[in-house]
Amino acid sequence: MNAPSAPRLSVDGCVATVTLNRPAHRNRLEAGDLNTLLDQFERVNADPAIRVLVLTALTEGQGRPVFCAGYHIGSFDDQDSDPRLFERVANALAALRPVTVCALNGSVYGGATDLMLACDLVIGLTGIEFRMPATALGLHYYPAGLQRYVARLGLSGAKRAFLSARPFTAEMLWQAGCLEALVAPEDFDATVNQLVKELVALAPLAVQATKQSLNEIAAGVTDLAAMRAREALTSASADFAEGRQAFQEKRLPRFSGR
């Protein structure tokens, strides 16, 4: 059972939601939270019925909403801590089988920026900010995080984030192409729900195979044989046959994931 302030996992049909759950401390992450997230991601991956995962946070009671303040800085002094734990969490999130949506309902700082970038799609709340203070603290960031920054923000954006440590506004993230939508508070939940509804309606076998290939391309790993195998798998799938038939019959397809 999770601790009262640990991230919460809930599943509703084919949609899983992970909610950061420490609003009084700006949803900072501690070592126990990271281990909880690893366990939750493993559980989600093991359930083939789950097609979409939403990562969000509780922000009630905060004067200014903060999605996550990053890793609790006091945890860096823990001699027994795993120095690569946060990296493993972000990598596990990036590698999840389902499509991942970050419902970014507050500002995001430090390592939590990499959790945002590790998600496939991001809905951002107007008025938030994004800041990576690693070099201001004297830290060289871990390799996978740097790679994601370059892939999502481009080299210029990644250099600005790390070499100046200056914050990005929500509008800057939008202009950089990091956000699927930038939404006012009153429309935020409806926008997230609409995106999830659209994702659930897609063919899961094709979506998950394509996500894997796109992630490999972004990481500089181009395995043409593996991509051709995924192409062949989906071409021969019941979902592709259903998609073609639904198109001809002018109706919504009923995908089974096979």
Q: What's the pLDDT score for residue 30?
A: 92
pLDDT score of 1: 46
Residue 164: CB partners within 8 Å, gap ≥ 6?
none
Band of the pLDDT at 75, cuts 50, 70, 90?
A: low
Is the pLDDT at 101 greater than 60? The verdict is yes
- pLDDT tens for residues 39-48? 999 999 999 9
What's the pLDDT tens digit per position in 170-225? 999 999 999 999 999 999 999 999 999 999 999 999 999 999 999 999 888 888 99
What is the reported pLDDT for 133?
Answer: 95
Task: Supply the pTM of this predicted model.
Answer: 0.93
Whether the per-residue pLDDT at 80 is higher than 60: the answer is no
Please tell me the predicted confidence (pLDDT) of residue 83. 76
**Per-residue pLDDT, 78:** 59
- pLDDT, tens digit, for every residue of 14-68? 999 999 999 999 999 999 999 999 999 999 999 999 999 999 999 998 889 999 9
Q: 3-state secondary structure string, the chain?
A: CCCCCCCEEEEECCEEEEEECCHHHCCCECHHHHHHHHHHHHHHHHCCCCCEEEEEECCCCCCCCEEECCECHHHHHCCCCCCCHHHHHHHHHHCCCCEEEEEECCEEECCHHHHHHHCCEEEEECCCEEECCHHHHCCCCCHHHHHHHHHHHHHHHHHHHHHHCCCEEHHHHHHCCCCCEEECHHHHHHHHHHHHHHHHCCCHHHHHHHHHHHHHHHCCCCCHHHHHHHHHHHHCCHHHHHHHHHHHHCCCCCCCCC
Domains and CATH numbers, the chain: 8-200 (3.90.226.10), 204-249 (no CATH)
At residue 72, the pLDDT reads 73
| Tens digit of each residue's pLDDT (9 = 90 or more) over 115-167 | 999 999 999 999 999 999 999 999 999 999 999 999 999 999 999 999 999 99
Q: Taken in order 196, 202, 208, 212, is the CA torsion positive or negative?
A: negative
Average pLDDT for the chain: 93
